[in-house]
Amino acid sequence: MTTTLAPDLLPAATLTGDRLAARHAPLRTLLSRIRAGELLLTLPDGRQVRATGALPGPQAQLQLHRWRALLRLLLEGDLGLAFSHRDGNWSSPDLTALLSLGLANEAALGGVTDARGPARWLAQLFHRARANTRRGSRHNIAFHYDLGNAFYARWLDHTMLYSSALFENEGDTLEAAQAQRLDRIAQLLDLRPGMRVLEIGCGWGTLAATLAQRCGVEVVGVTLSTEQLAFARERAAQWGVADRVDLRLQDYRDVEGRFDRIVSIEMIEAVGEAYWPTYFAALRERLAPGGVAVLQAITIDEAHFQHYRDNPDFIQRCIFPGGMLPTPERMAREAQRAGLSFSTEARFGRGYALTLAEWRRRFLAEWPAIEAQGFDEAFKRLWTYYLSYCEAGFLDGRIDVGLYRLG
């Protein structure tokens, strides 16, 4: 028989180094709650404190440049931590390890990453204000995707695929892993020449052009990003499939007609919970009899969904306004309500962690060229945090990515 101790029954973290003064009692209390892993904290005056938990876990470092970072964490939670990093109030040589340490100790830390009072209400109001109506969706998509094709081209690979790759072999490059994912999607779609395919959220057009070129199908692709549309049309022309790829600046709710196949890659995250029934109804209405839809979706674990719903996070505020991750269970229910069968074909969350790590490496390597486009240091810190934040979530397992088949 194995007994698991609750976090509050485990020994307090061992603190070594500087003896924190009485005025730093809240910080000492916070550090003592660490149950797994180790944190080396460097204070603004250069003194160091090491907090070591009783359980194994991530080894992380945090350099506190200004005390205000702690105040923002205590008042604004997750958002305050992100904003204070953006503003240069703290740093870490390994953001992913630090954020992973936070996730490993989340229960023991007692909700320190939750916003409080007015900060929480404002976060909820901001999120609700970015609802994905037709007009709202255009603004939300433009906020992220219209930063410029030149920006994304600096750190995505040549495919311009901005979704998780599928790493099947040890040592796969990002390019090889993206090619493997395209192959898997094509296999699940089971295409035959002459079929009509709808891609909801066609991005920079690589999947649409690939399916038209490789499988001899006709593809209608819709996006709300003017930047992506221009690139996608140019790519279709360069690849010689412009006559078989119809790319449009159009909301998925306004598409008409029936299609033999529908594919939608990491688009449901931008739909918004209120519009999940509309999205799945659109899939059903646009599918021809006997048709098949394939979705790639980022999901959150059901056990964390209610807390996530009640506490809009950094991603929803700073990166993807209006976004909302579904759970696999909620997707299955919405699909069934729409009259669609639903099956999970593959989940590969660890592959997304690898994808994000490689994107971050390329982003930092290309920073001088990105900075020359007019982006500043605050933007660099924000996006580095974003890529590490997501990587930590996938490593922890509370978020996942999968391919799903509907019919």
Across the beta sheet with 14-17, what order do the strands follow? 14-17, 48-52, 36-42, 55-64, 90-91
Task: Report residue 58: phi and psi, to 5°.
Answer: -60, 145
CA distances to 45, 49, 269 from 18, in Å: 11, 6, 45
Cβ proximity of 164 and 351 under 8 Å: yes
Strand partners, 293: 262, 406
CA distance 182 to 346: 13
CA distance 185 to 181: 6
- Residue among 202, 215, 318, 390 flagged as catalytic: 390
Whether 390 is a known active-site residue: answer yes
Count Cα neighbours of 310 within 13 Å in the Cβ-side half-sphere. Answer: 10
Cβ proximity of 291 and 257 under 8 Å: no
Return the sign of the alpha-carbon dihedral for residues 191, 197, 200, 206.
Answer: positive
CA distance 65 to 50: 17
CA distance 33 to 58: 15
Count Cα neighbours of 147 within 13 Å in the Cβ-side half-sphere. Answer: 16
SS3 173: coil
CA distance 404 to 366: 34
CA distance 399 to 304: 9
Any idea which residues carry the catalytic annotation? Answer: 390
